[in-house]
Amino acid sequence: MSQAADLVPTVEAELLPETRRPSQLGERLRRYVPALGLFALALVVWEMVVTAFQIESFLLPKPSVIGAVFVREFPVIFPAGLFTMREAMGGFVMGCTLGGVVALSTARWTVVRDGALPFAIAVNSTPIIALAPIMNQWFGITNPLSKMSIVAVIVFFPVMINMVRGLTQVSAGALELMRSYAASEFAILSQLRIPNALPFVFSALKVASTLSVIGAVVSEYFGGTREALGVYISQQAALFHFAEAWAAIIVACAMGITFYALILLVERLLMPWHVSLRATEG
């Protein structure tokens, strides 16, 4: 059978599909040029429109003014951002943990899934943020837990729903393979269902990361301690200090983006096999 052996390497080399090429830093940076250009253009247009039409600064401040205020207020708004970020992350961890636990229990007890999933999908499409005043009442308006619990509830549903989908949408062939091994339910869960669910979970976590920042900031609009970013924004707006409000909103944006990027990084580290990491079309 040496004939077969001799044939293999030469033919096989041609059959190899294109694998990931080493990405060049310059080429990757160049991809961001259009986006950065558009951003700069928007700022210039904004500045010109406000100047040309003499728009009152309490309606729309100039970007240059916002920039100056941002630098001046940085010692206040940056700690405020960190404070709110802690609430967002705390709620995120609580909600995701709970969502994961509930999803895993549905894999074990299908009754839980049949009972909870329609309910979860329904709740997921309601404005949970509307509960903020209630949570303020329950936990105390200055207690960070009142904001965290809102975030936790907002984050819980997408994480749980997606994870249940990931645990159950397993290919029939992959399951049959496990059956041929006479694999235990635990082995099927740990070796097949959970890895299969990871891409689903991460797409939920990415949504949840931005939702958690929104949830924390908006629930602070309903009241909270002075060092919170949402409280700062609503107070400055009430005082007609719109440049200050805008500067704080920049911090909120940066928080959301940072959190999202963090999840993206963890995803790449945890799932080196994932489709999104394969050779890009250039």
Q: Which residues bind another protein (CB under 8 A)?
A: 1, 3-5, 7-9, 11-12, 15-17, 19, 171, 173-174, 176-184, 187, 191-192, 195-196, 198, 271-273, 275, 278
Nearer to another protein, 102 or 163 (CB): 163
Shortest gap between Cβ of 104 and another protein (angstroms)?
18
Tell me how far CA of residue 220 lies from CA of 129, 174, 193, 213, in angstroms: 11, 47, 38, 11
Neighbours of 214 (CB within 10 A): 15
Report the largest interatomic distance among the alpha carbons of the chain, rounded to a whole angstrom. 87
Encoded tokens for 123: 């709740």
Spatial distance between the Cα atoms of 177 and 181, rounded to a whole number of angstroms:
7
- Contacts of range 178-186, beta carbons closer than 8 Å, 24 or more positions apart: 185/108
Nearer to another protein, 5 or 35 (CB): 5
Nearer to another protein, 174 or 214 (CB): 174
Shortest gap between Cβ of 208 and another protein (angstroms)?
22
Shortest gap between Cβ of 103 and another protein (angstroms)?
18
Shortest gap between Cβ of 169 and another protein (angstroms)?
13
Residues 6+ apart with CB under 8 A from 103: 159, 160, 163, 164, 167, 197
Are the C-beta atoms of residues 158 and 207 closer than 8 Å to each other? Answer: yes
Nearer to another protein, 72 or 274 (CB): 274
Nearer to another protein, 196 or 225 (CB): 196
Shortest gap between Cβ of 78 and another protein (angstroms)?
39
